[in-house]
Amino acid sequence: MANFLKLSTILSLMVSALLLASQYPTAFSSEFEDEDDDELEEYVLDAPNPNFRLRGRFFVSIIKKGAHCDAVKYNICNGVRANNGTSILNCCKTHCRNILGDRNNCGKCGNKCKFAQRCCNGKCTNVAYNPKHCGKCTRKCSAGVKCEYGYCGYA
């Protein structure tokens, strides 16, 4: 009987924690989430890529996020501009990455940003205290307003 009470108490605590986590998901998530959530699922190339043809005479004009590439044989994304100049794709290891916005490949392949930093225009930036990139890239605070903890005018 005592084991049953312990088991039922543990089970009820676990169910309560799961219900709480489902009602308040932001309470259990990080303030500085990965920027991949903000990115498009596809990169629309600024100019068709002559390195890769899609059957016949048609060139690729859209590359899906994380598309497979090989820097030597199947090079579809090295130095390719996309999304009206807001992205530059490089073949990092075996996948196309936006080096202007990827925290794990910021500015070049393999350059990882530190904790609480985001890759803003190819540079690792501390978004907690930068008034030009407050909380996320390109979020600017009004003139004279400080950026504190990722919020403009926190205090």
Domain for residue 4, yes or no? no
pLDDT of 146 reads: 92
Model confidence, pTM: 0.63
Domain for residue 118, yes or no? yes
Highest-confidence range of 1-5, 19-23, 76-80, by mean pLDDT? 76-80
Cβ atoms 128, 120 nearer than 8 A: no
pLDDT of 45 reads: 83
Domain for residue 71, yes or no? yes
Domain for residue 120, yes or no? yes
Domain for residue 48, yes or no? yes
Amino acid, res. 125: T
Per the structure, how many domains does the chain have? 1
CA angle centred on 110, ends 104 and 114, rounded to 5° = 45
- Domain of 80, in residue numbers: 35-124
Could you give phi then psi for residue 54, rounded to 5 degrees? -110, 90
Over residues 27-69, the pLDDT tens digits come to 333 344 444 444 457 888 887 665 555 545 555 678 887 788 8
Domain for residue 61, yes or no? yes
Over residues 73-101, the pLDDT tens digits come to 666 777 888 888 889 998 888 888 999 99
Give the CA radius of gyration of the chain. 22
pLDDT of 147 reads: 92
Domain for residue 133, yes or no? no
pLDDT of 130 reads: 92
Domain for residue 103, yes or no? yes
pLDDT of 152 reads: 92
Q: Is the pLDDT of residue 126 over 90?
A: yes
Residues 6+ apart with CB under 8 A from 90: 77, 78, 79, 96, 97, 99, 105, 108, 109
